[in-house]
Amino acid sequence: MTGPDDELLPDGVPAFGDPAYDDLRTDLAGLRATDPMPADVAARLDAVIADLSGSAAPVAASAAPVPDDQPEPAPVVPLRKRSRVGPRLLVAAAAVVVVGAGGIGLAQVVRDGSDDLKTSADSAATGATAPGAAVDSDSAAESPELDEGTPAAAARVIVLTTAGFDAEVRTLLATAVAPTASEQLPEAQDGLTRSASPLPTPGPADLEEQRNALKDLDSALLSQYATTKRADCAPVVKGATTVPVVLDGRPAVLAVFEAADGTVRVEARDCTGSVVLVSTDIPD
């Protein structure tokens, strides 16, 4: 029953279409993996894409086409040695955290659109980003102090408060991990695109409220951050992954320490890196 295009099989080996192994094929079909990609893996890969997008190696200017079946040289990004929490924070750095009287609202600025918001967010890191540039790769290259060189993070501002630090950090991390693919896709609304955080599970009305909150975000606070050169608040914290933030209206840095037992300590430090302003411990 060997088909004409079957390669020669040893004697006794049923051909591809032979029903002898139908039961086995049924068994194998039943083992198909049906669960979606785990959230931690998705977040990790999202962070990798953010890295790649930020580095903006001009793909169009890459070398001559490589045949599809040629293995690519070893990638430059470390694999399992890579921090599992650091990328989450860096992904979370793409989120703008709005702390208001009504609690914490989260919105992720995905693409350019609303000039006021985009300008405030982007200029926070780039100084003067031309409208339309969601993530400026050149400015990214000017931000080497970011621990993992994630320019996507450089283009956003994380706003935290001392009073709500613990909850805000947890929400930030959850936001970085939990959204599904579809939730992360941008939705155009008056030029402003965003996806809602799964925490605290806002409905349509909440989304609108968040949107308004974003528009009303204290521009002075962001301007303050924007006028502070990143290099002025990029301390090296030994053993930690660091992310620039605004804490209580002042530039600060978030330092993430991962212990061997999986516990993660997150500290907000001042721009010298020596003064811990507020901290919290969270499970990995």
Partner 1 sequence: MTVPLQELDDPALLEAHRAGDTEAFAVLFTRHRDRLWAVALRTTGSPEDAADALQEALISAYRRADSFRGDALVTTWLHRIVVNACLDRLRRNKVRAAQPLPDDLDEYAARGAVVTGPADDDQDPEAAAIRSDRRRTILAALDRLPPEQKAALVLVDMEGYPVDEAARILGCPSGTVKSRCARGRHRLAALLAETGITGTGSGAAASEKSDPLMRPSREEKRAMPGGGVQR
Residues 89-128 that bind partner 1 (CB under 8 A): 110-111
Give the burial class of 226: count Cβ atoms within 10 A of its Cβ; 0-12 exposed, 13-18 middle, 19 or more buried. buried
Choosing from 115, 116, 138, 187, the residue that interacts with partner 1 (CB under 8 A) is 187
Among candidate residues 100, 109, 112, the one with its CA nearest the CA of residue 206: 100
Span near partner 1 by CB under 8 A; candidates 118-126, 178-186, 242-250, 253-261: 178-186
Choosing from 127, 137, 149, 257, the residue that interacts with partner 1 (CB under 8 A) is 137
**Both tokens of residue 192?**
């402003």
Q: Could you say whether residue 220 binds partner 1 (CB under 8 A)?
A: no
Phi, psi of 121 (to 5 degrees): -75, -50
Quote the CA–CA distance of 146 and 283 in Å, as a whole number.
24
Choosing from 72, 101, 238, 283, the residue that interacts with partner 1 (CB under 8 A) is 72
- Give the residue carrying structure tokens 């979606």: 36
Quote the CA–CA distance of 197 and 219 in Å, as a whole number.
22
Query: Which DSSP symbol is given to 239?
Result: T
Nearer to partner 1, 2 or 224 (CB): 2
Q: Could you say whether residue 207 binds partner 1 (CB under 8 A)?
A: no
How many residues lie near partner 1 (CB under 8 A)?
74
Phi, psi of 256 (to 5 degrees): -110, 120
Q: Could you say whether residue 283 binds partner 1 (CB under 8 A)?
A: no
Quote the CA–CA distance of 62 and 203 in Å, as a whole number.
44
Choosing from 16, 103, 163, 236, the residue that interacts with partner 1 (CB under 8 A) is 16
Choosing from 127, 164, 186, 198, the residue that interacts with partner 1 (CB under 8 A) is 186
Q: Could you say whether residue 9 binds partner 1 (CB under 8 A)?
A: yes
- Give the residue carrying structure tokens 């962070």: 47
Q: Could you say whether residue 71 binds partner 1 (CB under 8 A)?
A: yes
| Beta pairing partners, 264 | 258, 282
Nearer to partner 1, 66 or 231 (CB): 66
Span near partner 1 by CB under 8 A; candidates 26-34, 162-170, 217-225, 260-268: 26-34
- Whole-number minimum distance, CB 192 to partner 1, in Å? 13
